[in-house]
Amino acid sequence: MKTASILWFLPLTFVALLGAMLAASLPLWQVFNLDPDYYYLFNGLLVLEGRAPTDLGHPGTPVQVLIGAVLRLMHPFTPTEQIIDTVLHQPEHHLLVATLAIYPFVAAALFVLGRAFYRATGSLWPALLAQSTPFLSMIIPKFSLHPKPEPFLIVAACFLVAAALAVARTQKQGDRHAIWLGVAMGFGIAIKLQFAVLGVVPLLLLDRRRLFLIYPAATIAAFFVFVAPALPSYEIFLDWWTRVLTHSGAYGTGEASVIDPGKFPRTVMKIFGSKIIFTITIIAMLVVLAAYVRMRRRGAMAANPLARLAVGMVLAQVLTVIVVAKQSAAHYLIPALMLTGPTLAVLWHITAQATDPLWHRRAWQGVATLLVLLTIPASWSQTMELRQWTREAQSFDMSRYGGCAKIYFDSSSALSYAMQRGDMNSQGRYSPLLATWMPKDEYTWFTNKHSWWDEGLVWWNQKIALAEILRRHGGCAVFRGSQPWTLPPRVKKEIPGFAFDDNCKAGEEDVFTKGILCDGSPVQRP
């Protein structure tokens, strides 16, 4: 009972950290939150209707299915059409409930991970080291506080490592071991395709038949089970990933090539250089594994069943960096970052065999102290940063422009913008309904080409010209977005010679005005 209580401490602490960060960053329609939170909310509505999700970039289907299930459970006896109407009128409330519904899965997965290491080693030290993994990079909680793939990547990684530990410690392998590994892998890939790189984790654990037959078959079967609700939209998935895999730039852009050879090596080194704990852990594990191999050859050390797991985890971490370097974004590293704690746990276990117990205990007490001293300030700093972003985004009062058109361009802190983006990711299904009650003076300008639709100035499902908007609102318009370099070319294309009257900042967003100044006073024409 005491051991179980200890093993729940870090999972519950991490969930508490997620809650604190979530509270600091609300509402979820802010520019640093909405992608893909609102996309997943709208695709959850599709699932609720019994339709196939259409946002398959991750693919993320299990998350969208969970959101759809949460929406149904919130209104168990209400007709579907009425639920849709209620959700669209109260999106933040429903999205927040769906977010909180994910957190228990994260806590449970971290507990399972810790218990697996405790059973494999008989010690709480490696169990707690493994459970520390989501604290060791602030990218993990920063992205996992949202209703999107990242929290379920934590779940998938924990179950994959737990399943691998079961193989490492068993005296007799069975097909069920390979099947459970495949289920964890299939689930992770269905959450986010980058998880596939972790497939090498059990490389040295399974025998040939199970490694090359049972394990991949279970992975493929599990993947199709978990993405089954989205299979009618498979053409969207194939089109997106064909572009991503055959072009050298991010999100399917750039030259028709797999990578940019001029940038790739520098990006790899930059990733390793920016993730210090991650990189040091890999280097330390490689050094210890090299010493372990030498000592085994001399007969000076007994075989450690977790050493084979360590090889697979290090290989998965390095390969993830190589894969992510093509389209570098820190949160794409989360599957590999989730292996940092388990790698430290195995490092503890191997070094315990070869070092003096007193020295070993003191050394790892020092490691643990250092990790605590690094992670507590980092957690506080990340939470305060989110609070500051929220304060800056919310401090800019758009109500001062009462008679003007509000044009939100990529990407903007506005509920109507988040709803428009979410609806476009559900193929515009709910635009006709939203158009009946959303503000008539708020427009969206997609100044980039997006995954499932092209750029353009729209009001829900209707394209509209800038000149028409200005005519409707007496020549007064306010433009707000976080990518200001994308706006001028679009404006000049719409109205040659167009010039803004004023500009100002709203946190990380830029505001441009026409026919009015930033403080809300009218422009004085000569």
For residues 513 and 503, the answer to whether their CB atoms sit within 8 Å is yes
Q: Mean pLDDT score of the chain, rounded to an integer?
A: 92
pLDDT one-digit tens code per residue, 372-415: 999 999 999 999 999 999 999 999 999 999 889 999 999 899 99
Task: Provide the pLDDT confidence category of residue 251 given band limits of 50, 70 and 90.
Answer: low
Question: Token pair for residue 123?
Answer: 């010690």
Query: What DSSP element (H or E) covers 408?
Result: strand 405-409
Contacts of residue 299, Cβ cutoff 8 Å, sequence gap at least 6: none
Q: Which residue has the higher pLDDT, 277 or 243?
A: 277
Task: Provide the pLDDT confidence category of residue 253 given band limits of 50, 70 and 90.
Answer: low
pLDDT one-digit tens code per residue, 32-59: 998 899 999 999 999 999 999 998 888 9
Tell me how crowded residue 285 is: count the other CB atoms within 10 A of its CB.
23
Q: For the chain, give the percent of residues with pLDDT over 90.
A: 81
Q: Residues in the chain, how many? A: 526
Half-sphere exposure of 335 (CA within 13 A, CB side): 32
**Residue-level pLDDT at 122:** 93
- Distance of alpha carbon 274 from the chain centroid: 18
Backbone angles phi, psi at 109, to 5 degrees: -65, -45
**3-state class (DSSP) for residue 481:** strand
Please tell me whether the overall predicted TM-score, pTM, comes out greater than 0.85 for this model. Answer: yes
**Residue-level pLDDT at 307:** 95
Query: What DSSP element (H or E) covers 505?
Result: strand 502-506
**Residue-level pLDDT at 473:** 96
